[in-house]
Amino acid sequence: MKKRFLTGFTMIELLVVTTIMIILTTIALVSYRNATQNSRNAKRKTDVQTVRQALVLYRSDNGCYPEDSTYLEMVATISEYLSEIPYDPQGSEAEPGYTYTPSGVGSCNTTEATGFSLEATLEPDDTAYTVQNP
C-alpha cells in the first residue's frame, strides 16, 4: 500500500503570506503618500522663491513692489519676469493657493511699497511657509 502525500498550502501558511502582503502594501502606500506630499511641498517652496526673485527684479526696474492686493493681480503685474505663472500643485488658475501681501503700500511715485510677504500652505498640517522682503 502506497502512502499519498497531499501537496498544497495549509490555511495557516496562506494567512501568514496574506498578512505579510497586506503589511508591505500598507507601508508602500504610506511611503508613496508621504513622498507625493513632500514633492508638492518642495514645489510650493520653489514657486514662492521664484516669485520672490521676480518681485526683486520688478523692484529694481520700477523702484517699488507691486501694490496689488491679491496673488493673481501681482503675478499679472510681474508676468514679464516669470517664464510661467506658478500655481499650487493642488490649486488652479482661479485658486492659485498662494497669497501675496504688500507692505508700505502706496504708488511708486509717492509712498513706496517697501516690502511684501508671500505665503504657501504646506501639507499635511497646513503649516505656513512665508517669505518676506525685507
pLDDT tens digit sequence for 91-112: 777 788 899 988 875 556 555 6
Backbone angles phi, psi at 128, to 5 degrees: -85, 130
**What is the band of 32 on the pLDDT scale with cuts at 50, 70, 90?**
very high
What is the rounded CA–CA span in Å between residue 115 and residue 118?
Answer: 10
Task: Give the mean pLDDT of the chain.
Answer: 87
